Each structure stands twice: as C-alpha cells, then as structure tokens.
Structure 1
Amino acid sequence: MTGCPYKKVYFNWKTNKAEKCTFCFPRIEAGLPTVCSETCTGRMRYLGVLLYDADRVEEAASAENEQELYEKQLDLFLNPFDEAVIEQAQKDGLSMEWIEAAQNSPVYKLAIEYKLAFPLHPEYRTMPMVWYCPPLSPIMSYFEGKQAQAGNRNPDMIFPAIEEMRLPIQYLASLFTAGDTEPVKLALQKMAMMRSYMRSEITNKDFDHSRLTRLGLTERQTKDMYRLLAIAKHEDRFVIPTSHKEAYMDTYRAQGSQGYGGEYFGSNCDGCGVPVAVESGKSGQEIYNEQFYGGIFRD
C-alpha cells in the first residue's frame, strides 16, 4: 500500500530521478505526524524530539574505530530532564513546549533510555536520526513456534539461545552498530525478557525477577517498555511540538545563506572565487571546474 501522499520516496519516471522524502514538513510544523507514520498499519513508527550538542557532532563522527560511532552518537544527546540542559535550551530560544516534548519523546525512550533502537549504518558517519528496533522473529520463533508449543523449548534458555544464534545477530550488528554485536544482543535480550515477563503477569505465573535485574531493568521499566512498544496510543507514539511561526519576524533573511554566501544573497561576497573568476573572463565551465568539487564550493 502507498504511504507517501507526495510520492517523494519513489522513482520518478518522468524526471528519471529518485526524489527525497520531505518529512511532510507542513504537517510537522503544525504538530502533526508524517502521513506514512500515521497510516502505518503496524503502528510501529514513532516521532519525537531529541536534544543534542551540535558543537560535538564533528568530533563524534570522526571517531577512528567504527564500532565506537554508535556510542559516540549516543553521547551527543542531552538529558531533557537535566536542569542545566533546560536552562541552556531556553537561552537558545527553545520554548517549554519543545522541552516538554523532548521529555516525553518516545524516540528518547527507545534509543537513549532503553537502548532498543539503533541508527542505520553508523559507519557511514552521517549521524542518522532515523532509528530502528531489531526484529525478534529469528529469536522468538525458536520459543514460540509449533515445537515450543509442544513443550520442546524451555523459556529459561532465551539468554544462551540469543548468544548462540550468531548469524542473525552478526547481520543485524552489521546494519546498526558497525559490527558490534553486544548492543544488539542486549536489546534483543531486553525485548525477549519483556515478552516473557508480561506473559507471566497476564497468566499469573511465577517469574524470576533476577533475570530482569541481570539486564538492568526494573518491573516499572519493563511495563513502560511494553506499553510503548505494544499498546501505545497515538499521543504516545507521536510527540511533536508546533513550530511557533509567530516568533519568526523575518523568515526571508532567517532561511539561511544562499548563492555566494553571507547572511543573504550577495552580501559579504567581496573577494570570493566566483566573482573574481567572472571578472577574469573565464568561461562558465572553467569556473565550475575550479570552484566546485563534488557539488560543493571549494574553500
């Protein structure tokens, strides 16, 4: 079924180009989720705010060891409940609505607090902000399939089974953590144990709570994870503040630099390479070859 109303993520046979997702920015600015997220039949998509330290992005992306990139990216994100972070965010112009949205963000809970979601291919060093929860199907089918129902599988074997299934975990780690299997393994163990715990709660069966402690989880956290992953309402999955356009006094000048640089088109352009090249009488192709590299201006 088609989820994108703008057909942005599909190959355009008329222009022979694959266009990029616009993230439904008119809806996002109004506090509404993207259409593909809202119409997701599995209700598996979440949208929320993350506060991060933009000054340390280059440092985090420059880590020599690729397997450190995931942890480096996690270190960029700020705790929205920290008083110092709240004070600095307000100084930087963020309203309390945005700060409260960051505190209630489902993305913060899944990616930072519970560490169940991972960025795609961190080794590309693009610091992606789309996060994915690894699938449990290769693991839980071992315990919840027909053979498990016949009594041939012991639920206490979840930990060793996840560790022994090296191929699925190694493949998932190559997608999400640049090959580091430990974070993926821990996330799978948390989700598997959450299912086992909630099944015991609903069926009034005994459960060994030391297995939760082994994973660093409490009963409250496990129930919160279950609510967010299984029965979350619309307002729990999509926590999106409005853009407050009434605060923008001059959007034309605030949209960013264009053309040759500066605050607005044509400002602070004295001495830059392109006008000098034009005055020298060079052709357009010669200017392009000298000034551009890979689609961006040379320094």
Structure 2
Amino acid sequence: MDVRAQISMMFHLDKCIGCHTCSVACKNIWTDREGTEYMWWNNVETKPGTGYPTKWEEQDKYKGGWEQKGKSIKLKVADKASTFTNIFHQPHMPTVDDYYEPWTYNYGELFDAKAGDDQPTARAVSLLTGKHIDIKSGPNWDDDLGGSSIYAKNDPNMENLSEAQKEAFFEMERMVIFYLPRICNHCLNPTCVASCPSGALYKRGEDGIVLLDQNACRGWRFCISGCPYKKTFYNWKSGKSEKCILCYPRLESGQAPACFHSCVGRIRYLGVLLYDADKIEATASASEEELVELQREMILDPHDPEVIAQAEQNGVHFSMIEAAQKSPVYKFVKEWKMALPLHPEFRTLPMLFYIPPLLPVLGYVDKGLYKVDAEDYFGSLDRARLPMQYLASLFAAGNEEQVRMPLEKLLAVRSYRRFKEVGDVDSAELEAMLKKTGLTEEACEEIYRLTSLPTIEDRFVIPASHREYATELAMNDDSNTFRAEIGFGGFKGRIERGL
C-alpha cells in the first residue's frame, strides 16, 4: 500500500446558479495577460451544450485521455515513436475557432466621436490581430437557453439518447438546463503529464497538484491534446503552455483558491483525500462499468491506524492526515457515495467530483397544496425531463445505476427535511426511503447541514504548508526531493515533493 495525499474538490451541481463569478475571479488573477486572452482556467458551461472549447468531450477528434491496451492503458494522442516523428506537428489540438477569438472594443470611436446625427458605436476589435471582427462565438456563447437549437443538439452526451428524448429537450415547456463548472481536475493519472515530451508537467508529491514548469516547457503542446478536459492552454505570446495551478500560493497559506472563495452559490468543497497509489494502473485499466467504484476503493479511510502509519512512513505530514479526517470531499465521495467524477472513461482518475443535479418534478399541485408521490417517489427519476442516460454519460461512463444512487439519496434527504419541517411525509414512507438508500436520519441531517448551512471552515479544510519544511527543502534540495514516475504505455511523467 503506497499511501499519498491529494488535494481534492467537489462541486454540488444542484446549487450552481451559473453566475460565472468563479470564472471572473480566476480571470482577473491569472489570465489577464497578453497571450492569455482566450484562456479560462475556470469556466461554467450550460448543459446540454457543446462546451468550451467546442465539443471538448469528443476524443475521436482531440485524442485526449487513455485507452485500454490489453490489461493496461496507453495514451490516445501518441506513443514515443509517433511523438518524436511529429514533435513539431500537433494535429489534434483545438484551434482558436474551437475556443473563440478574444476581442475588445474600440472605445475611442465612441468617446471621441464628433457630434452628428448618428449614434456612435464601439466596434469589436480582435485582441489577436487588432482588426475589426464580427463576433461569432465566445466562452459562454450557448449560456442558459441561447443557441440551444444549434449547440445543445450537438452535445456529444446526447448520442445515446433516443430521437424522442432528444426532441423532448427542445420542447419549450420541457426545456431543461443545468450548469457545469470546470477547472483542472488535478488527476491521479494525468495524460497531460504523461504526454509531455519535455517533462515540463509534474504532480507535486505533497498535495498532488499538477503544475507546469515554464522553464522546461518547449511549447510542443502535446499536453493540450493529451488532456481530455482541455484544461491546458497555449500562451501565444510566451510560446509556453499554461494551466490551472489550483491557486497553490493561497492553499499554502491556508486560503481557498480564488474560484472557491468567490463562489456565490457555495457549491464548492475542498479537502484532502488519502489514496493507494499502487492501485492507479489497475483502476485506470478496468472496464468502464467498474471505473467509478474502483476509483472510490482507491480512497483510503483516514481514521484507519494502518493507513495513518503508512502515510507517515511515506512522508505525509500529520496536518494532511488531520485534514483528510475532516474532509467534506471524503464524506461526499467515499462515505455517502454521492459525488462522481466527470467522464471517468477518460481514465485519468480525476480528483474533481460532482454531485449530479436533481432536476425532475418531484410532485404535483392539488388545490394549491404540494403533494408528494410517496408510493413511487424514486420513480420520478425515470420520468424526469433530464434522461438518466444523459447524466450517466457525463458522470458514470454510461452506468445509470451509479448516477441513480446519488439522486435517490438527494431525494431521501429532501423527504427527510419535509418530514422534519412540514410533516407531510409519513414516517413509514421515510423509513422505506432511507432503507433503500442506505442512509440514516443522522446522515441525512449531516448531509443537509453540509449542503445548506456550511461555514467556510466546513467547505474548505485546507492544511497550511509548514514553513520549516520548505526551508529545509530549499537548503537540501538534492537529498530532500522525492521523485517518482507516473504514466503507462507512453511517456513517464514525474511526481516531485520539494521546491
């Protein structure tokens, strides 16, 4: 058992209001420089929709992630031989049209316009060429209901739906959307790290954050193609790649990342998970039906004395172990099994988990009173406006049962709160719901508190870095830096503990 610590995240999609405050916070701090105009390390997509960059989920086009090869896995984007053959040619990258051409406005035409009969306007100007452009797309172009007939119909996750289900999406009285915030997943088996020929990308040994060494980067951009989530970007000004760093300077001082701290809906949770690194290859190589559950099994109980002893032997500081014991992510992912990884079939073992949105109509109105269909309470999931197959394609590699389980638990918690506050749910019916979902009243109460009434300390359990260890590492780098390799069937990336 090789116990390591990983800073992990969880987003509660049932609470996201799509305000993009997280995106603006990140943009103002990290990507407001020349060469980064089109970058959104944090973006919020409307689903169903094609996302940013367009159709990023289509790996037949972009060759991101891993694929099975016998009992192991290999990179989709390249192997060693083809990489060195085509090192200066990368055909599987998104183009600026797949993102969008960033623009500003020529405000001089507006403010300095001479008096006249016509209203002056500020025309859009490309930030890349400096020439006037007609705006045709943007990072949130299909936000909310805009462009559904064009964008939502081209969502790759709709391929497995029947024609009737697809058409139901676009009936105005049944139209449904939800928001999907995305940042770098800081995966356990990152393809960006394994595909980089220069070894510029690495995973920090102390907390698992995936970083990109600007001094080592040669701008070959295999990381961009390799990342199936398209969360590595190319800076056209510096000729280097860039990506989300999870605001690690803030984490090291015990503060939440900017997008987490600014989240209006309080949908974001951050904590530490302890995992068994010996199981990475076996888990990533498993069948698609097993991926979600096997990834959960990799996560270890931070209260287990054997796990604690092995973690300390591996150099995991006790403050990280304490944080893992209080982690809200551990509770939602491992204890309650309510949070799921995004597209586990990419086999990167992402460390950003999502609670799927609960969008069905739960009951009906009778003479002004809200009624709950207690006899077939969970059956409402099958009659939902959002088909279960769609959510399963997003969060469970098509395994509908894996998505149904957290949704039933969300319904059970809502029923429990109605029982407590309104009293219109029969105790026998509630008991049957809890028995089916495996929850207790105590668990329902804790889920409710952590979902609806959490403090900032409840949502973000962050172990601050220890300055004395950083000083020791700086003085004795050669002897105190831990290095290991990750990746299978292609380039080996590196994990480093040190500065």
Settle same-fold status: TM greater than 0.5. yes
Matched, 1:127 2:127: no
Runs of 5+ in structure 1 lacking a partner? 263-292
1:28-86 C-alpha deviation (Å, 9 max, x unpaired):
111111111011000010000000011210111011x2121111111111001111111
Which deviates the most, 163-172 or 78-87? 163-172
More strand by percentage: 2
Query: 1:6 is matched by which residue type in structure 2?
Result: I
Match of 2:328 in 1: 106
Deviation for aligned residue 1:6? 2.3
Q: Which has the higher contact order (CA 8 A, sep 6+)?
A: 2
- Structure 1 residues 147 and 119: CA distance shift in structure 2, 3 A: farther
Indicate conservation of the 8 Å contact 2:302/2:324, yes or no.
yes
Matched, 1:220 2:461: no
Q: Following the alignment from structure 1 to structure 2, what is the Cα–Cα distance between the partners of residues 89 and 159?
A: 41
- Structure 1 residues 296 and 104: CA distance shift in structure 2, 3 A: closer
Deviation for aligned residue 1:150? 4.7
SS at match of 2:25: coil
- Structure 1 residues 120 and 149: CA distance shift in structure 2, 3 A: farther
Query: 1:212 is matched by which residue type in structure 2?
Result: L
Deviation for aligned residue 1:99? 1.2
Residue 202 of structure 1, aligned match among 418, 421, 424: 421
Counterparts of 1:88-99 in structure 2, within 5 Å, are 88-99=310-321
Query: 1:80 is matched by which residue type in structure 2?
Result: P
SS at match of 2:264: coil
Deviation for aligned residue 1:210? 2.4
SS at match of 1:52: strand
Counterparts of 1:98-177 in structure 2, within 5 Å, are 98-137=320-359, 139=360, 141-143=361-363, 150-151=369-370, 154-165=373-384, 168-177=387-396
Query: 1:3 is matched by which residue type in structure 2?
Result: A
Query: 1:66 is matched by which residue type in structure 2?
Result: E
Matched, 1:6 2:29: yes
Counterparts of 1:41-120 in structure 2, within 5 Å, are 41-63=264-286, 65-120=287-342
Query: 2:396 is matched by which residue type in structure 1?
Result: T
Q: Following the alignment from structure 2 to structure 1, what is the Cα–Cα distance between the partners of residues 301 and 492?
A: 35
Residue 258 of structure 2, aligned match among 24, 29, 35: 35
* Aligned-pair identity (%): 42
- Structure 1 residues 256 and 92: CA distance shift in structure 2, 3 A: closer
Q: Following the alignment from structure 1 to structure 2, what is the Cα–Cα distance between the partners of residues 16 and 76?
A: 39
Indicate conservation of the 8 Å contact 1:142/1:148, yes or no.
no
Deviation for aligned residue 1:91? 1.7
Deviation for aligned residue 1:215? 1.1
The alignment yields a C-alpha RMSD, in angstroms, of 2.9
- Structure 1 residues 7 and 189: CA distance shift in structure 2, 3 A: same
Match of 1:270 in 2: none
Total equivalences in the alignment: 260
Counterparts of 1:284-299 in structure 2, within 5 Å, are none
More helix by percentage: 1
Query: 1:42 is matched by which residue type in structure 2?
Result: G
Deviation for aligned residue 1:247? 1.7
Q: Following the alignment from structure 1 to structure 2, what is the Cα–Cα distance between the partners of residues 39 and 68?
A: 35
Deviation for aligned residue 1:151? 4.7
Q: Following the alignment from structure 1 to structure 2, what is the Cα–Cα distance between the partners of residues 148 and 216?
A: 34
Query: 1:199 is matched by which residue type in structure 2?
Result: R
- Structure 1 residues 156 and 42: CA distance shift in structure 2, 3 A: farther
SS at match of 2:316: coil
Indicate conservation of the 8 Å contact 1:3/1:40, yes or no.
no
Q: Following the alignment from structure 2 to structure 1, what is the Cα–Cα distance between the partners of residues 342 and 481?
A: 29
Indicate conservation of the 8 Å contact 1:197/1:207, yes or no.
no
Q: Following the alignment from structure 2 to structure 1, what is the Cα–Cα distance between the partners of residues 262 and 255?
A: 12
